[in-house]
Structure 1
Amino acid sequence: MADPRPDYLARLDAALVGPGRIRRGLVREAADHLDDATEALVAAGHDEESAARRAVVDFGSVADIAASFQTTLAVAASRRTAWLLLFVLGYQPLLWDSGLNLASNTAGARSDTWVFRLLDDTIEAGSWIVLGGALLVLVATGGGSPWWFDGRATARFTGAFALAATTFVPLTSVAMIVTADGADAGLWMLALTLVVLPLAGVAVSARHTLAAS
């Protein structure tokens, strides 16, 4: 019979969902364990093929090992999405409210209507909530796991939370531009480049996080 290790590792790799680098590292970890177990059995007097088969059986089924490894991948995906949220939302105040102040300097877009002010307050408050949620995920998934921590549940929360954020922020930003006086093509291009497209990337990461959960 052929060595069962390559087929086992291929099925394990196919069963895992999550960041590629970490997934490959986990599969290599499994391969190293199987190789070590096989070598130990050969040293104990088993032939190579029977030792490899015994090592695979003793290691556990693909379903059981994949379920264990999947938690690690779910946590990694959560952290990646949280970091992306922090990065993309973190530079928004510098671009739009202070520092470069692109909205005013580029398009002269200003509005004193109550709708614009409400949207401005809403997106500011919402952005702080999103940043706080992203920080909470990073704290929960960093270092030791507290007794209440569930990696896959955290991944589901992170994915859903990030998808909500990547819907709320662009829609509110577009609504602000629509209600602003003096908004021109340049401002629309800035919004697309600096808000919509980066958050679309976060949304893709969020969907991958949900898949990993």
Structure 2
Amino acid sequence: MVIDGYVTELERVLVGPPRVKRDMVVEARDSLLDAAEALQARGLSREEAERRAVAEFGTIEEVAPGYQEELTACAGRRLGWVLLLVGPLTWLLWWGIWRVFPGDAGGWTQPPEWYAVVARVLDGTQLFTGAVGGVLLLALGRFGRTVRRTRLVTRAAAIYAKALLPVTLGLCVPLLYGAGPVGAHMLPWAVAAVVSLLLLGVQMRHAVRCLRLVRLAPAA
């Protein structure tokens, strides 16, 4: 079948979120079948109708870039939602921990000046990450892709998200060293640390997926 071969090749060429790609391919196949049935009703043979439908639909080289851009945008939007939620949520988690379960300032009567600076930088980074997620969602939304820079925007956001792991860990180490929880406070601090690592892991996972996608995807 001409349409089956065309759809199989289209699915092979495209890379991106599996469910979204499958839906796109199914939609393309349905459109081709509808067009072929309409042509067949006008007197063409089944094979000729399928060939005509495929020709009118466009070659793989012509249609794949448009589908690929949408797949890349979909992966980028998912990363955007993760950044929008993970950054502020992590900030809120530790904001609550510091106030409900304050740690012992490591024996310091007066914490050094760098301690407050590092804490503010970490807070700012987490809140800024949420802002980056919001901007990414706007940039890859229906009204934000008129310039057609989907791959560039997705790649830049993924690099930022991937770099956050070592940056965040580098900022957290001196803070935890300077204000280690003791006694009954150990459990909530440990839970907060585990949750933070899990959130960072989700963020890293989506960032790596986006970077892999923009490397493998054929250029539009």
* Distance in 2 between residues matched to 1:187 and 1:113, nearest whole Å: 25
Answering whether residue 207 of structure 2 is matched by residue 206 of structure 1, we say yes
1:82 alignment partner, one of 68, 72, 80: 80
Equivalent residue, structure 2, for 1:135? 134
The count of corresponding residues between Structure 1 and Structure 2 is 208
- Structure 1 window deviating more from structure 2 (74-83 vs 3-12): it is 3-12
CA RMSD of aligned residues (A): 2.5
Unmatched segments (≥5 aa) in structure 1 = none
What TM-score do you get using the length of structure 2 for normalisation?
0.81
* Distance in 2 between residues matched to 1:36 and 1:26, nearest whole Å: 15
- How is 1:1-213 mapped onto 2 (pairs within 5 angstroms)? 3-98=1-96, 101=97, 105=101, 108-110=103-105, 112-145=111-144, 147-182=146-181, 186=187, 189-213=190-214
Deviations 1:49-74 (A, max 9, x none): 22212322332222332211011111
* Distance in 2 between residues matched to 1:117 and 1:135, nearest whole Å: 27
Question: Percent identity over the alignment?
Answer: 27
1:157 deviates by 1.8
| Matched residue type, 2:199 | P
Preserved CA contact (<8 Å) 1:116 1:179: yes
C-alpha change, 1:42 and 1:82, in structure 2 (3 Å) is same
* Distance in 2 between residues matched to 1:103 and 1:23, nearest whole Å: 46
C-alpha change, 1:31 and 1:109, in structure 2 (3 Å) is farther
1:192 deviates by 4.3
C-alpha change, 1:194 and 1:102, in structure 2 (3 Å) is farther
* Distance in 2 between residues matched to 1:17 and 1:49, nearest whole Å: 29
* Distance in 1 between residues matched to 2:104 and 2:134, nearest whole Å: 32
- Structure 1 window deviating more from structure 2 (148-157 vs 107-116): it is 107-116
Preserved CA contact (<8 Å) 1:103 1:109: no
1:207 deviates by 1.6
Unmatched segments (≥5 aa) in structure 2 = 215-220
1:45 deviates by 1.7
* 2:122 partner SS: helix
C-alpha change, 1:41 and 1:65, in structure 2 (3 Å) is same
| Matched residue type, 2:13 | A
- Structure 1 window deviating more from structure 2 (34-43 vs 147-156): it is 147-156
